[in-house]
Structure 1
Amino acid sequence: MENYPAGWEADVVLRDGGTAHLRPITPADADALARMHEAQSPESVYLRFFAPLPRLPKRDLERFVNVDHRDRVALIMLIGDDIIGVGRFDKISDTDAEVAFNIADAHQGRGIGSILLEHLAAAAREAGIQRFTAEVLPQNRSMLQVFQAAGYEVSRGFDDGVVAVNFDIDPTARSIEVQASREHRAEALSVRTVLHPTSVAVIGASRKRNSTGHLLIRNITAAKFTGDLWVVHPEADQIAGVQAYPSLADLPGKADLAVIAVPAESVTEVVKDCAVHGVKAVLVISSGFAETGPEGAELQRRMVATSRAYGMRVVGPNSFGLVNEAEDISLNASLAPFLPASGTLGLFSQSGALGTALLAAAKNRGLGISTFVSAGNRADLSGNDLLQYWEEDPATQTVGLYLESIGNPRKFSRIARRVSRVKPVIVIKSDLTGRELPPGHIVRTSSLAPHTLDQVLEQAGVIRADTIHRLFDLAQVFSSQKLPAGRRVGVIGNSAAMGTLIMQRARSEGLHVGTDPVSLHPEVDTQTFRAELDAMYARNDVDSVIVTFTPSAGAEEAEIAALLSESAARSGKTTVACFLGIQGVHEELTTFLTDEHGNRVSRTVPSYIGPEDAVWALARATDYARWRAADHGTYVELDDIDDKKVRSIIDSALDGAEPGSPVRLERDDTRALLNAYGIDVLPYFAASTVEEGLAAAEKIGYPVALKAVTNVLRHRMELGGVRLNIDSPEELAEDFTAVQNTIRQLTDEDEPLVDVQAMAPHGVPCVIRAGEDPLLGPLLAFSLAGDSTELLGDVEHRVAPVTDNEAEDMIRSIKASPRLFGYRGLPPMNIEPLRRVLERLSVMVENHPQILELVIHPIVATETESHVLSAHVDLLPDATRIDGTRRLLS
């Protein structure tokens, strides 16, 4: 369809957790629009059209469905084939448009108006529209509330019985906050629908005991699911002792969750049948989808599109299943024949085989879980969705995720940063750049180095574990101990060699061991061990304690374990232990206390087989505690920027550009773009002759610098492309000729351009990059200038927007940062101007996703100021940000 903006299509989650499909209207929607209108109440019709209108006149109907997708835009929201909401705008000037909505009576209160407004505003901004107006009857309170609650600065006027509403549609801090809050509530509810069913139907179970469906039924039954369990089978009376029904239509009630284990080619039809019969969510165990190749990928796409279009979430396909250990649910809809006990660890896995390993490891270590979800191919329900749910789930205190890919890392970072402030998030992932994908996972890729993602995770407070073993090492601390109060560690045990090893390891992991380990006699008695433990816990210079015990002819291991757990519980200080033969959180190291409310509670000291594991886990828990307690700063609010000018520069440069082909911004436009954000480039003039160079130097004033404009020699002083501290016309003429001759030797330019620029004061040259990464979205990078920085990868990255503290942390975190702070007696540089530039570029690339890459190279930090010497900007005409200013499932 000509000019049809397919990029505006989106699957969305509604306020109650259901899903719907949103897309631009087309002429083929006329009948569905007419049906929606005729089903509306007279009151709803009057509120929308200001007049009684039982049926849409044919002329109006044709006008409503025929739009140009620029000056006249209409978006519809559908469930199945039914339109449940319409939002539209009509351009009334170059910068203004009138907006209107119509929500189906049966679906009001589901947040449809607010989602349509977000998507309309995003489409309008693409067309250069800056402001929405609307005319609303005073009694249409729900529509007025949509505008007011969106987070925009709304002004109202009352004239001739109508309320006139006006507001700018550029995102504000408040509108972004409102959007994130609504997204969180909706996605958390959609996951709750999956994990808290009151009825489950298993579809595709065979009477063969070794079949997948048979195993699922046995596992659900064995876990004593508290709801109704039904089996759908066209012929059997019962399977695995559970009554079977010929079809979903024959069930005695509606199933909240359908567990599907039929051949892949039949799944989409089963999903359609589930939608017809009111199923709220589906768990697809079946394989044979995207992991098998293009045909399977198309099957998967159709299955997910069908499910979302009818309001259902999908777990899978190729899923290992899901578990909810809550007493009022007790659901094991998985292929795991065993389960850990009920506990506080939430687990997410994209791999079925590793899902089994995760559950087995939790069980072996005595760690209880709250919920477990295997996403399989992660075609719909993802780790981002589970994070939304776990953030407020009181049963989950620690989150563990095994990720084979992240479809939307920017959203993951945004959500994880929020979750990490209240609960630890541990991630296992070998590659996060999207270049090493398992079969069935389709994501964008990033050209950035893998360590970039480590920095992004660290920015969000997420702890990265290399292995399942490491994940559970850390989960042991979080599930049984309070967070460490600081880095000061005390070491005590009955082995001097072990104590020394632990001390050395602790210091290498960034912990502080202020005194030598307390080394007791190998055959220490219980009384002495207790006294020394109590003395260690009483010390004011110890925040955490590491205890080791090696069995000998002295005290029994069980006795030491009992007194350790009791002393540790009484002290309230974080404690980890190394007891041979005890790994995990077990009753041998558990004691019971009465809390301040009179409740009997257990306290367990986690034990590790090796001292390296104990120290690593304690160090990462300490790092997390420090991150959580730190002041992460505030996002900068800039009132001296000119976004309209930036948008105009970008639009002009991209006018007529080929899709997918980057466009290099002209140098004068680059200066103007930076200037619109309060960043000045040190004055320079391009010259092609010595005479022009001399004239430029006279305007600027000596001393000046000469720089080759050609990319081959740009910034390359060692190749003769840069000459500094030129103090006189004679010196300039000589150096200008030398630079031009060097350019001619390496290029075919006859009269190469040379920049004549004012000399910056002496300082430390740095490089700042900002732009749109396909996978991560807007990203900042900071480093010192020079080949060594690039060769050693000494670059810090952060996802934009960044806070003031995050911007400063970028500067301080590079390994070469001592050069900015008085290295070897040199004066310290003022990093505040660097921080301000990072903050401003953070806002710029957040607001303008067409900026593919903006490079300031170099920006020279001095004792007082920073000076931008050179910059270039590449733009991308068809930039599409995964996690933008409109809510959608991705």
Structure 2
Amino acid sequence: MDEAEDEAEVEVVDPGAPYPAHWEADVVLRDGATAHLRPIAPRDAKGLQEFHDEQSSESVYMRFFAPMPHLSDRDAERFARVDHHDRVAFVVTVGDKIAGIGRYDTLSEGVAEVAFNIADVHQGRGLGSVLLEHLAAAARETGIHTFHAEVLPQNRKMVSVFTDAGYEVRSHFDDGVISLEFAVEETERSLAVMEAREHRAEALSMQHLFTPASVAIIGPSRSPGTVGHRLLADLLEGGYTGRLHVVHRKADSVLGVPAVRRITHLKERIDLAVVAVPAEEVVGVVRDCARAGVRGLVVVSSGFAESGPEGAERQRKVVALARANGMRVVGPNSWGVINAADDVRLNVSLVPEMLNSGHLGLFSQSGGLSVAVLDAMSRRGLGLSTFLSAGNRADVSGNDCMQYWEEDEATTVVGLYLESFGNPRKFSRIARRLARQKPVIVVKSGSSGVGLPPGHEVRPSIAPREAIDSMLRQSGCIRVATIPQMLDVAQLLLHQPLPRGPRVGVVGNSDALGTLIADACASWQLEVVHMPLALHPQAGPEEFRKALKAAFTHPDVDAVVAAFIPPIATQADDVARVLSDVAGRSQIPLVACFLGTRGIAPALARGRRVVPSYPTPEEAVRALARATRYAAWRERDPGHRVEPAGIHLDAARKLVTTWLADLDRPEAGSLDVPGWDGVLDPARVTQLLAAFGVRVWPETVVRDPEEAVEAATRIGYPVVLKTTEPHLRHRVDLGGVRLDIADDDELRADVHQMQRSAGTAGSTMVVQAMAPTGVACVVRTAEDPLFGPVVSFGLGGDASELLGDVAHRIPPLTDVDVADLVRSVRAAPKLFGHRGATPVDVRALEDLIARISVLADELPEVADLELNPVVVSENGLAVLNAYVRLARPALRADAGRRELPGMTGWDHA
């Protein structure tokens, strides 16, 4: 690809068919290489002819059912010119050549014929399945619900593209052709297939970065102290086992490694190129790497998005060029990659000493902090499997690393230091799957609200800060506050079995330490069930062995905390060996508090099992508590995705589509409200919620006492009177709500008094039937630009609002997620019969939340929704008021099709 082609802009088809730029995507193929997918454009006519001419006669016949030696100019122009609605086509390009084409043409309302053509040299790389996913997403957007395809029987590969995609495919054979038909609506199975393919492809793309057979350092200086020189020196000193090359403009060798002038001069294909040249030269270097067929890049150079608009544009060009030519990019502004495995020994980082090989996989968005983390690991005696510093993380992200670590046998615990999120939905689904088999420990900075680090470009978020905690907890991640806490938890999980429960046994040689441990356990909701009299300060190894055995064999103990104040150094080592030996004979975890010792002391690693040590009891217990909570999450049934009966998605989507049209032409809209802001009137709210099986109790708007009495007579006493004044809504204490009104006279008096309270004689009110006695709750959803839908729950009243007693979850939800959401607010006991009260119908509440979560997940056009109050009684519930606002949504980060994050750095973690 030359520079002119690199600078080319997307061509618009014609004024009547605007180019849908949001359909463009970078994708990872089955072999881990990347490619670019985009809507076809008229400028592709020549490329279509070249693509066709290079195809075998068999491939041409499979596509057109007839010989076609050459694609005429007229046919090429016709194929390349579409309207992006009734006729849609995508091309996948590798470099500057078309590698695959997929298209659909509308046959009738909602039905389109779909076809593919994959270049012979690219068959078997998964282009067909990627094209089908993106065509299906475009079809859903343009109102197509069914795909039809005709395939020759011998074209088994194309048949499998459809049948293996997870859709319910119907087929029949007629006149020598197989006719296939299927609905393009996403299903649980089709999403599972897509995610499995995404996982395999992204994990493989990372394998080229973590386990390269060959590495080229581009731009290492001959001067010590420079970045490139340091990187090469670290690779050599670390004992890299692969083939190492140097690219240098002038030198014949650097640090004894022979050099070539350009990477294209090397005679072998390079797995990983490390770029250490000035920022303004990086685009040219990446172009050379593309020509040489390099598989992956680590860009340590700075001067990109962190430096301002010019650098951000340079970063965009680097990533676009790399992905278009099959390469993943770590960085720019990265501190490198490490693989400590004995058969790899890759140290492409600014960390001078290679860490011991171990089982902790580490990802960091901060370069400078990476050095401190790795140094702390070394001092603690913790071993590393692989490490990646993402820098500006313009391409490779924490999500990619988690995909890799899920398959990596060398990694048993994952640690993530995150400064920002770009795609929490994708992070959540990957982390939830990974955490089922390997602990994921997360440090998320930025809780203070300080701005993003330079170079991090992410979508804005309006979600509460607590949403991040909820998302991590929902995903099974272990969130900690600091790097030392992450390593505290990691050293336990790396070397000890998971606790079976919260019950703790304590052994020590100090009454004071024992008390501190008990207090710490109480504060972390752990229960001390075995705490014998402390051993005397001079207790020897055999006394400790006897006490430890008693704790480990206690029938109620799930974990043991051992505390030791060493009176004599040699005796301390003997006691440490006893701890290690006794712990190795049990499946119960042991954490030690050897005062002043942090990490894996040599003596604590000489027995049957390594025992982690902490300098204080509080740190030991905190790590144990987090491991205990994780173990409980992992053992818990994850549940099933909620799918309540009686939901009519098609009807709801049609309603929303119709109403949203009024945002463009409010003066002519069915709402008859000029300048309509998307807030639905009560009738439409009721209609939309009814499509999800949610009934809103009707209410009647009134303006004076007589209208109120007339409404109450119709409804039947007792009734409720509520003001519509915003500052008094739901405020019983301020006179905005009058409950249990029994007759006409009482109602008239309440109307007069409420209007005086509002300060407006003509203010409107509503009359509504009195709901059964129960607990008032609030259910909300909001479409967040970053998180997508966020479902929130809390009990009604000022106390919950003022104390922030509101819980959040990110759809899609399982039944277990819903149950956990209800029980996670501090006021939840009120739902279950607190202090002798009658328990309410929590099952009905959970059903309501499940329905609202489906609405939020399926209708991104619902920008805000609030059900307030929802009165949950002994039998059933009443939704007494509902608010819904519609808005045209941005494309969600995790949009049901495989794609890499955008060039701005959005849409990834």
Distance 1:18 1:73 in 2: 25
How many angstroms does 1:658 deviate by? 5.0
Aligned residues with identical type, % of pairs: 52
Amino acid at match of 1:194: L
Match of 1:462 in 2: 477
Call closer, same or farther: CA 1:718–1:94 in 2, change over 3 Å: farther
Match of 1:732 in 2: 747
Q: Secondary structure at the match of 2:884?
A: strand
Distance 1:35 1:284 in 2: 34
Contact 1:434-1:446 at 8 Å conserved across structures? no
Contact 1:291-1:439 at 8 Å conserved across structures? yes
Asked if residue 614 in structure 1 is aligned to residue 625 in structure 2, the reply is no
How many angstroms does 1:853 deviate by? 1.4
Contact 2:40-2:91 at 8 Å conserved across structures? yes
Amino acid at match of 1:465: V
**TM-score of the superposed pair, with normalisation by structure 1:** 0.96
Match of 2:603 in 1: 588
How many angstroms does 1:440 deviate by? 0.3
Asked if residue 15 in structure 1 is aligned to residue 30 in structure 2, the reply is yes
Amino acid at match of 2:611: V
Contact 1:525-1:554 at 8 Å conserved across structures? no
How many angstroms does 1:842 deviate by? 1.4
Asked if residue 48 in structure 1 is aligned to residue 54 in structure 2, the reply is no
Match of 1:771 in 2: 782
Contact 2:507-2:531 at 8 Å conserved across structures? no
Asked if residue 109 in structure 1 is aligned to residue 124 in structure 2, the reply is yes
Distance 1:300 1:42 in 2: 42
Asked if residue 231 in structure 1 is aligned to residue 246 in structure 2, the reply is yes
Contact 2:93-2:99 at 8 Å conserved across structures? yes
Q: Could you tell me which of 281, 299, 305 is aligned with 2:314?
A: 299
Distance 1:325 1:514 in 2: 41
Distance 2:564 2:57 in 1: 79
Asked if residue 27 in structure 1 is aligned to residue 33 in structure 2, the reply is no
Contact 2:297-2:327 at 8 Å conserved across structures? yes
Contact 2:34-2:327 at 8 Å conserved across structures? yes
How many angstroms does 1:62 deviate by? 2.0
Contact 2:25-2:900 at 8 Å conserved across structures? yes
Q: Could you tell me which of 331, 334, 355 is aligned with 2:349?
A: 334
Distance 1:812 1:477 in 2: 29
Asked if residue 275 in structure 1 is aligned to residue 290 in structure 2, the reply is yes
Q: Which shows bigger deviation, 721-730 or 799-808? A: 721-730
Q: Deviations over 1:474-522 (max 9, x none)?
A: 1110111111111111111111111111111111111110243540111
How many angstroms does 1:814 deviate by? 0.2
Distance 2:553 2:239 in 1: 47
Distance 1:57 1:151 in 2: 37
Contact 2:530-2:554 at 8 Å conserved across structures? no
Call closer, same or farther: CA 1:510–1:662 in 2, change over 3 Å: farther
Q: Could you tell me which of 328, 352, 368 is aligned with 1:353?
A: 368
Amino acid at match of 2:418: L
Asked if residue 872 in structure 1 is aligned to residue 883 in structure 2, the reply is yes
Asked if residue 889 in structure 1 is aligned to residue 895 in structure 2, the reply is no
Q: Deviations over 1:590-649 (max 9, x none)?
A: 2355xxxxxxxxx11111111111111111111111111111211123442111111011
Call closer, same or farther: CA 1:860–1:190 in 2, change over 3 Å: same
Q: Secondary structure at the match of 1:860?
A: strand
Contact 1:225-1:330 at 8 Å conserved across structures? yes
Distance 1:851 1:249 in 2: 53
Distance 1:389 1:24 in 2: 30
Q: Could you tell me which of 113, 116, 138 is aligned with 1:98?
A: 113
Call closer, same or farther: CA 1:724–1:556 in 2, change over 3 Å: same
Match of 1:643 in 2: 649
5+ residue gaps, structure 2, are 1-11, 666-674, 902-909
Distance 2:406 2:345 in 1: 21
Alignment of 1:649-688 (within 5 A): 649-657=655-663, 663-688=678-703
Contact 1:522-1:554 at 8 Å conserved across structures? no
Asked if residue 758 in structure 1 is aligned to residue 758 in structure 2, the reply is no
Q: Could you tell me which of 534, 550, 566 is aligned with 2:565?
A: 550
Q: Deviations over 1:717-759 (max 9, x none)?
A: 333332222222333344345445555x26xxx8544322221
Match of 1:798 in 2: 809
Amino acid at match of 2:221: S
Distance 1:553 1:240 in 2: 49
Alignment of 1:126-145 (within 5 A): 126-145=141-160
Asked if residue 841 in structure 1 is aligned to residue 856 in structure 2, the reply is no
Distance 1:753 1:155 in 2: 57
**TM-score of the superposed pair, with normalisation by structure 2:** 0.94
How many angstroms does 1:432 deviate by? 6.4
Distance 2:656 2:418 in 1: 37
Q: Which shows bigger deviation, 474-483 or 714-723? A: 714-723
Distance 1:710 1:455 in 2: 33
Q: Deviations over 1:700-719 (max 9, x none)?
A: 22222222334343323333
Amino acid at match of 2:898: R
Match of 2:670 in 1: none
Distance 1:697 1:99 in 2: 59
Q: Which shows bigger deviation, 704-713 or 791-800? A: 704-713
Match of 2:200 in 1: 185
Amino acid at match of 2:292: H
Match of 2:103 in 1: 88
How many angstroms does 1:41 deviate by? 1.2
Amino acid at match of 1:509: W
How many angstroms does 1:49 deviate by? 1.3
Call closer, same or farther: CA 1:162–1:755 in 2, change over 3 Å: farther
Call closer, same or farther: CA 1:693–1:888 in 2, change over 3 Å: same
5+ residue gaps, structure 1, are 594-602
Distance 2:345 2:720 in 1: 74
How many angstroms does 1:870 deviate by? 0.9
How many angstroms does 1:693 deviate by? 3.6
Distance 1:519 1:224 in 2: 49
Amino acid at match of 1:620: R
Amino acid at match of 1:824: R
Call closer, same or farther: CA 1:505–1:265 in 2, change over 3 Å: same
Q: Deviations over 1:203-228 (max 9, x none)?
A: 01111122111111111111111111
Distance 1:741 1:652 in 2: 40
Q: Could you tell me which of 779, 784, 788 is aligned with 2:799?
A: 788
Match of 2:842 in 1: 831
How many angstroms does 1:63 deviate by? 2.1
Distance 1:345 1:558 in 2: 26
Distance 2:543 2:23 in 1: 72
Match of 2:53 in 1: 38
Contact 1:587-1:604 at 8 Å conserved across structures? no
Amino acid at match of 1:157: H
Contact 1:770-1:855 at 8 Å conserved across structures? yes
How many angstroms does 1:438 deviate by? 0.3
Contact 1:578-1:610 at 8 Å conserved across structures? yes
How many angstroms does 1:661 deviate by? 9.5
Return the structure number with greater relative CO, CA threshold 8 A, min gap 6: 2
How many angstroms does 1:200 deviate by? 0.5
Distance 2:763 2:125 in 1: 63
Q: Could you tell me which of 378, 382, 393 is aligned with 1:378?
A: 393
Distance 2:745 2:107 in 1: 62
Distance 1:687 1:42 in 2: 77
Match of 1:706 in 2: 721
Q: Secondary structure at the match of 1:719?
A: coil
Q: Which shows bigger deviation, 833-842 or 380-389? A: 833-842
Match of 1:819 in 2: 830
How many angstroms does 1:878 deviate by? 3.5
Match of 1:153 in 2: 168
How many angstroms does 1:828 deviate by? 1.1
Q: Deviations over 1:79-106 (max 9, x none)?
A: 2221111221222233222212121111
Q: Secondary structure at the match of 1:655?
A: helix
Q: Which shows bigger deviation, 688-697 or 855-864? A: 688-697
Alignment of 1:189-588 (within 5 A): 189-431=204-446, 436-552=451-567, 556-588=571-603
Q: Which shows bigger deviation, 351-360 or 63-72? A: 63-72
How many angstroms does 1:433 deviate by? 9.8
Q: Could you tell me which of 621, 635, 638 is aligned with 1:629?
A: 635
Contact 2:596-2:616 at 8 Å conserved across structures? no
Contact 2:530-2:557 at 8 Å conserved across structures? no
Q: Which shows bigger deviation, 152-161 or 369-378? A: 152-161
Match of 1:163 in 2: 178
Distance 2:307 2:478 in 1: 33
Distance 1:335 1:799 in 2: 38
Contact 1:480-1:585 at 8 Å conserved across structures? no
